[in-house]
């Protein structure tokens, strides 16, 4: 069986047994292809079934010399570890060459931050945009900041997730797991305004779509890339460096602002869809840094706030 076939079998396992999302599978495939290309460049005729510890060490060294961040190298190594464990478990090789290799050293960086004042300006500028586009952008912004959803979860929300006049949204996260996330009054109002013009974004012919944010593109809904560009354009209109803004930065803002107002860490963990609370704990450091951002409010930590967006 070829190296490519081994990779395909591994990816099929991730999809079938772990429920890996298409974006996750694409990321794994890219890491595997980079690894296989390195094995070919080594010139020793090694594939994944006979790759050595030295092959993997030279691969890590090559990434370091190329200036790749330690976090990116560690992510790639994690993918290769799982691949070799799969080959070993399936009996396709007799050992795991990654077992004795340490991950590249990396510090755990704090998330990029936006102050509450900066988010408020972005929300204001979204509301200033005319017509249906402005109503859609306002709904996207309010919903993202009110729930902390991942961008992949936001753009692929089905209409049924917010079909009724409810105080929460049903979010399907990693591995197909569903969670209920409360919405603010502002988010509900923004969604109501957007739904009145949603038909403007339906595919040509006005055929109904199952997506909350339909698009005329091949995916049928707004893409992550397009929404990311829309956010950067909005940041520029708000006088904020676009390099500081992305959908994930707004997810960080949601968590950091909630904790700054005294929210319970486990409640934030559940809303973010984190399986491990240690992933959420990084925001306890972020909210301390948040206090020193321009325009950051001086609110006592114990102040009870239901969500950063306010209302409802």
Please give the pLDDT value at position 310. 45
Checking 156-159 for CB contacts under 8 A at 24+ apart, the result is 156/211, 156/221, 157/211, 157/212, 157/213, 158/210, 158/211, 158/212, 159/209, 159/210, 159/211, 159/212
- CATH number of the domain to which 169 belongs: 1.10.443.10
Q: What are phi and psi of 182, to 5 degrees?
A: -65, 150
Tell whether 81 and 125 lie within a shared domain. no
Please give the pLDDT value at position 294. 40
Tell whether 259 and 148 lie within a shared domain. yes
In a domain, 108, yes or no: no
Q: Which residues of the chain have pLDDT under 50?
A: 286-307, 309-312
Tell whether 220 and 262 lie within a shared domain. yes
Buried b / exposed e over 261-276, threshold 16 CB at 10 Å, is: bebeeeebbebbbbee
Please give the pLDDT value at position 208. 83
Tell whether 15 and 152 lie within a shared domain. no
Please give the pLDDT value at position 132. 94
When divided into structural domains, the chain yields a total of 2
Tell whether 54 and 19 lie within a shared domain. yes
Tell whether 123 and 245 lie within a shared domain. yes
12-64 pLDDT, tens per residue? 999 988 888 888 899 999 999 999 999 888 766 678 999 988 889 899 888 88
Tell whether 145 and 281 lie within a shared domain. yes
Tell whether 83 and 123 lie within a shared domain. no
Containing domain of residue 42, as a range? 3-89
What is the distance between the alpha carbons of residues 246 and 263, in angstroms, rounded to a whole number?
A: 24
Question: What global pTM score does this model have?
Answer: 0.58
Tell whether 79 and 165 lie within a shared domain. no
Helices (H) and strands (E) in the chain, counts: 12, 2
In a domain, 298, yes or no: no
Q: What are phi and psi of 172, to 5 degrees?
A: -95, 110
Please give the pLDDT value at position 288. 38
Task: Point out the residues that are catalytic.
Answer: 150, 174, 248, 251, 274, 283
Tell whether 76 and 152 lie within a shared domain. no
What is the distance between the alpha carbons of residues 301 and 56, in angstroms, rounded to a whole number?
A: 47
In a domain, 250, yes or no: yes
In a domain, 96, yes or no: no
What is the distance between the alpha carbons of residues 117 and 293, in angstroms, rounded to a whole number?
A: 9
Tell whether 127 and 230 lie within a shared domain. yes
Please give the pLDDT value at position 149. 87
């Amino acid at each position: 069986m070829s190296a490519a076939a081994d990779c395909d079998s591994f990816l099929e396992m991730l999809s079938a047994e772990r429920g890996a999302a298409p974006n996750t599978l694409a990321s794994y495939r890219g890491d595997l292809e980079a690894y296989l290309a390195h094995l070919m460049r080594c010139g020793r005729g090694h594939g994944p079934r006979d790759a050595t510890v030295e092959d993997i060490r030279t691969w890590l060294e090559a990434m370091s010399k190329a200036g790749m961040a330690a976090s990116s190298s560690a992510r790639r190594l994690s993918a290769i570890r799982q691949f070799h464990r799969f080959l070993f478990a399936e009996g396709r090789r007799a050992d795991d060459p990654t077992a004795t290799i340490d991950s590249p050293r990396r510090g755990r960086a704090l998330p990029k931050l936006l102050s509450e004042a900066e988010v408020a300006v972005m929300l204001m500028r979204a509301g200033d945009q005319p017509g249906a586009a402005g109503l859609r952008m306002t709904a996207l912004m309010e919903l993202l900041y009110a729930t902390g959803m991942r961008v992949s979860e936001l753009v692929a929300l089905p209409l049924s997730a917010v079909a009724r006049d409810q105080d929460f949204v049903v979010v399907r996260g990693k591995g197909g797991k569903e969670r209920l996330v409360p919405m603010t009054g502002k988010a509900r109002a923004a969604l109501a305004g957007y739904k009145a013009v949603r038909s403007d974004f339906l595919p040509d012919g006005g055929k109904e779509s199952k997506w909350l944010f339909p698009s005329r593109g091949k995916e049928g809904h707004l893409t992550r890339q397009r929404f990311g560009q829309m956010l950067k354009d909005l940041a520029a209109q708000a006088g904020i460096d676009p390099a500081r803004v992305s959908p994930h930065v707004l997810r960080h803002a949601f968590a950091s602002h909630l904790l700054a107002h005294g929210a319970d860490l486990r409640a934030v963990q559940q809303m973010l869809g984190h399986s491990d609370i240690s992933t959420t704990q990084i925001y306890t450091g972020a909210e301390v840094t948040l206090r020193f951002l321009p325009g950051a409010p001086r609110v006592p930590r114990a102040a009870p706030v239901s969500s950063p967006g306010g209302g409802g």
